[in-house]
Copies of this chain bind each other. A is one copy, B any other.
Amino acid sequence: MPYELHYWPMIQGRGEFVRLALEEAGADYVDVARQDDDSGGIGPMLDRLSDPADPRPPLAPPFLRDGDVVVGQSAAILLYLGPRLGLVGASESDRIWTHQLQLTVADAVDEAHDTHHPVGVGLYYADQKPEALRRAAEFRDERIPKYLGYFERVLAANGGGRLVGANLCYADLSLLQLVDGLLYAFPRATAAALRRTPQVAALHETVARRPRLAAYLASERRIPFNEDGIFRRYPELDP
């Protein structure tokens, strides 16, 4: 039975970290909200989120259904999928370390989101633009270099162009996505940071050329970045 991914159909968002893992592994999955038949759309997702009979409800998308198991929170979904998709090492220490890296990517993603929504998720960007300008300045000057510098240090210590051991793991894929999103939203600041983090830049380029991932990224399944997602290109935020 295929995995079912439930996520907003118009954005990459937090669902994309799960999509990249499923695509790279060649997993059998259905991106339910993007199907246009009777069983698709966001109806099943919204039903599940508000189902009073669900004993273990996710708070928000994305969530993954694998038979009777439903897992929400993108990092927890990858914790669940990692061993099943061959995208994490076998030892407990490798698994915890990979997850630690994933949570650090997630922190960076949260901060990228907050550059355009510093005051609140319930307001439009246009209603918090002065605050966004201030927050984006610190993000560009301090936070992007800090996060990419950290991953550079991890890649250098590990060697071989991977974050953990010799094999690709889900955190490598999530780092690729983080860099891709930062390049979209903050092209100038991110390019400058990547010049000082060559191993991060190399991971971003080489992993994207893996056959399955390259096919996915070139396909219609890859939703283009846009200004409804986490990573938004507002030129005034990256002057």
Contacts and interface: CB of A to CB of B under 8 A. Distances in A.
Q: How many copies does the complex hold?
A: 2
A157 interface: yes
Interface stretch (A36-44, A49-57, A179-187, A226-234): A49-57
A99 B58 CA distance: 12
Contact of A56 (B80, B122, B157): B157
Contact of A73 (B72, B104, B120, B154): B104
Interface residues of A, number: 43
A119 B134 contact: yes
Interface in A133-176: 134-135, 137-139, 142, 150, 153-154, 157-158
B72 A100 contact: yes
Contacts of A76: 96, 99-100, 103
B100 A71 contact: yes
Contact of A100 (B58, B134, B135): B58
A99 B79 contact: yes
Nearest to A94: B56
A89 interface: no
B57 A69 contact: no
A172 to B, nearest CB: 15
